A and B are shown apart, each in its own frame.
Chain A
Amino acid sequence: MSRLRFLELLRTLDRHGVKHVVVGGVAAILEGAPITTLDLDVVYRNDPDNVRRLATALSELEAVYRDPAGRRIEPTLERLQRNRVKLMESRLGMLDAMQEVGAGWTHAEVLARSCPMRVDDLEIRVLELAAVIETKEAADRDKDRAMLPVLRQTLEQRRGGSG
């Protein structure tokens, strides 16, 4: 397993011009939630040019699917277009590239619920915390439910003027 490098992963996607929105745990962290996560989740725009850019970025990252059977499966253009969710391992850590998140939100829908954010020297789009909470509620897995109280309290604190 490679050590997760958040900023370098984001920088690689940015350098290749991949249109994406940061979602999941990293979005929650950027929005101020004191949580941790072991991967970077992004929703990318599913058009041929963008998928090609994503494929190039993933190649540079030496990404392969996290395959339960332990097979080495690389994210080809066809696989990227065909599968809605890609759980991948790269030389900069785990990266989940998705065509949709939560209750079937596509890139256009998460983009509408995102905010621009400057992180180091990058300008990225990040799913707003309220929307992150909605995606976690929709996913309804144990790990998501466990995180929800912290996310909701963070949102409450922000609305109270502390953020």
Chain B
Amino acid sequence: MARETSTASDDGAGSDAEPTLEGAFAPDGVDLTAIRWMLERTPTERLQAAQDLIDAVWALRGVEQT
């Protein structure tokens, strides 16, 4: 409910907000935002994301071959 009533500036979407990399990477350089994105998905969605990547590569290969 709080999300529904928040204003643009409350959730960082206002014009003054700037993106930050703080907390985005682990000390060893691993992208934590990608991990969090995956963890928010269901197993089916995670597998679909991997499938989509493979499909995209295949599509690109097809373009290159024509």
Contacts from A to B (Cβ < 8 Å): 3-7, 26, 29-30, 32-34, 36-38, 117-120, 126, 149-150, 153-154, 156-158, 162-163
**In the bound complex, how far is the Cα of B38 from the Cα of A157, in angstroms?**
11
Q: Is the CB of B36 within 8 A of A162?
A: yes
Query: Which of these, B36, B47, B58, contacts A157 with CB under 8 Å?
Result: B36
Q: How many A-B residue pairs have CB under 8 A?
A: 71
Interface of B is mostly: helix
Contacts from B to A (Cβ < 8 Å): 26, 28-32, 34-39, 41, 43-44, 46-47, 49-51, 53-55, 58
Show 13 A/B contacts (Cβ-Cβ < 8 Å), sorted by A.
A3-B58, A7-B51, A26-B50, A29-B49, A32-B35, A34-B34, A34-B35, A34-B38, A118-B43, A126-B43, A150-B35, A153-B28, A157-B39
Q: Known contacts being A120-B44, A153-B28, is A37 close to B50, with CB within 8 Å?
A: yes
Q: Is the CB of B50 within 8 A of A119?
A: no
Q: Is the CB of A3 within 8 A of B55?
A: yes
